[in-house]
Structure 1
Amino acid sequence: MNDAADEDVPPDPGRSGERWPVVSVVVPAHNEEAVVAAGLRRLLAGTAPGEFDVVVVANACSDRTAEVARRAGVRVVETPVPGKANALRLGDEVCRTFPRVYLDADVELSAESVRALVAAAGRPGVLACAPVPVLDLDGVGWIARRMHRVHDQLIAPFRALAGVGVYVLTERGHARVFPLPDVISDDGWVHGSFAPHERVVVPEARSLVRPARTVSAHLNRRVRVRLGNRQLAELGRSAAEGRLRLSSLGALVAGRKVSPSDAVCYLTVLLMDRALTRVRARRGGQVQWGTDAGSRAQPGG
């Protein structure tokens, strides 16, 4: 490895009596002590010993992320080098099998959903897949809650592999994506690597996504998304979201899928989002990958 990463290496599954894994799971984690234990518990609940090969990559952490992950019984790679793309590459290097699941540490995915994703990845012609996201709006502010509901419906037709917190690659699909470049939007890069018929959304699988609790936290995320989309465009990869139009919002209101007040909340935040993006882009558009405390629970585990 190129940056002095340290890995915990458990016994060979073949010698320990464990089964050979049916899937590898990479979890990049930067200061995720507050959420990583709960996510790993849900991921591993009901699994057979060795069924899932799980690697948590603790990158540039200043908290107990690595310790908490080790207590969950998974492999841990530690590196002082920050960056999600780097963490994904390091975890990918030590995976034991295909298909491979790439899972954000703050997103929860059950073993049943993983198995459904593995089954979908085995279908002819499928190179990549993702679950259907479910928003956990517990603790989200009133304005942010309205805005999230509108935004989720607007981007649903374009999302596929992006914005779900999880994507799965077959061995052939992996060859399209890796080595992963240093991009802001890794899921956008992955989404743009496949034609629509090569990527599928698996309705039997669900990922629990915790959106930003406040408008301020959401704006920080959205600026990052827009800058990431610009970077993808420069690299020749289309953004997963497509271009959101006011007519689409009008159709949601006309169809009574969202209320007029929901739409007003969304438009207000959208204008703030675009103004902040222009300001930050003029300043150079530098974005560092880190933890969004605005969607986190209190530390535990």
Structure 2
Amino acid sequence: MKPVISVVIPAHNEEAVVAAGLDLLLAGAGPGEFDVVVVANGCSDGTAAAAARPGVRVLETPVAGKAGALRLGDAACRTFPRAYVDADVRLDAASLRALAETASRPGVLACAPVPEWDLDGTGPVVRRVHRVHDRLIAPTRALAGVGVYVLAEKGHERAFPLPDVISDDGWVDGCFTGSERVVVTAARSVVRPPRTVRAHLRRRVRVRQGNRELAALGRPGRPLRLGALGRLLASRTVGPLDAACYLAVLVLDRLLTRLRRGSAGWGTDAGSRHRDPAAGS
């Protein structure tokens, strides 16, 4: 059976989460339906062993780096379209089929699912910050920030070979415009935001570094405007306390970004990871 889609999962020290994601993805799949490649890169834990199972090819490299891992996995793919999935994101077989079907339509070069946010165990301040941030970016959300993007063959020609950038999804998102990229409402990815303010700030510093890098490469993002926050308040979509928490953390976010001008490494953000119950706490 020829696979309907290839899937690349870069995994750096993801022993705690990679097995659960693969089990969910493969539970509803037929034999050989999905061509799944996990790239264990620079791991010091049991990621490769945790990912090993029928229907999954595991590649290992001693070099840590998400972009490099994506290129390595991409080179091993057997078909188009191709999905690129973060190891800590949950995606089921039905959603992957919907993405594959959409990416096969004429004129569609790339697509992504609608994110669902798993806020279990997330602190109250971070919940408020996330509530505001999610509503601010929702009108312009496309391929970035949802943990999954899918490329048709022609879209792949535009986005790959992927350069060594922090924000791979930001790079890919910037390769397309208008109807070339589609948000697939029938597909869902479950994404876990950071659980603490500290973890949120670490992630935001990395996001800002990635955005600066893309801007230097001629791929500026779509900046958020405070006027949009005012409109959310006026419409009562978010409350004053939500906005106050968001603004306070935003100030810290920008301050830390200015203090940290070095490049961000490819590391595991344990503050935002799902955990496989079988792996313990």
TM-score range, shorter chain: over 0.9
The 5 Å alignment of 1:180-191 reads 180-191=162-173
Q: Among all aligned residue pairs of Structure 1 and Structure 2, give the percentage whose two residues are the same amino acid.
A: 70
The 5 Å alignment of 1:201-280 reads 201-239=183-221, 242-280=222-260
Q: CA deviation at 1:156?
A: 1.2
Q: Secondary structure at the match of 1:168?
A: strand
- 1:76 & 1:234 partners in 2: Cα distance? 34
Q: Is the 8 A contact 1:185 1:228 kept in 2?
A: yes
Runs of 4 or more above 6 Å deviation? none
- 1:198 & 1:297 partners in 2: Cα distance? 32
The 5 Å alignment of 1:1-301 reads 19-71=1-53, 73-239=55-221, 242-281=222-261, 285-298=262-275, 300=278
What amino acid maps onto 1:293 in structure 2? Answer: A
Q: Secondary structure at the match of 1:71?
A: coil
Q: CA deviation at 1:72?
A: 5.8
Q: Is the 8 A contact 1:101 1:168 kept in 2?
A: yes
* 1:112-171 C-alpha deviation (Å, 9 max, x unpaired): 000111111111110000000111000000100111111011111222000010000000
Residue matched to 1:5: none
Q: Is the 8 A contact 2:35 2:55 kept in 1?
A: no
Task: Give TM-score scaled by structure 1 length.
Answer: 0.90
Paired positions, count: 278
* 1:22-58 C-alpha deviation (Å, 9 max, x unpaired): 1000000000011101101111111110000000000
What amino acid maps onto 1:236 in structure 2? Answer: G
- 1:108 & 1:72 partners in 2: Cα distance? 19
- 1:122 & 1:298 partners in 2: Cα distance? 33
- 1:146 & 1:238 partners in 2: Cα distance? 27
What amino acid maps onto 2:88 in structure 1? Answer: D
What amino acid maps onto 2:229 in structure 1? Answer: L
- 1:293 & 1:175 partners in 2: Cα distance? 34
Task: Give TM-score scaled by structure 2 length.
Answer: 0.97
- 2:181 & 2:57 partners in 1: Cα distance? 29
Structure 1's unaligned 5+ residue stretches are 1-18
Structure 2's unaligned 5+ residue stretches are none
Q: Is the 8 A contact 1:40 1:72 kept in 2?
A: no
Q: CA deviation at 1:176?
A: 0.5
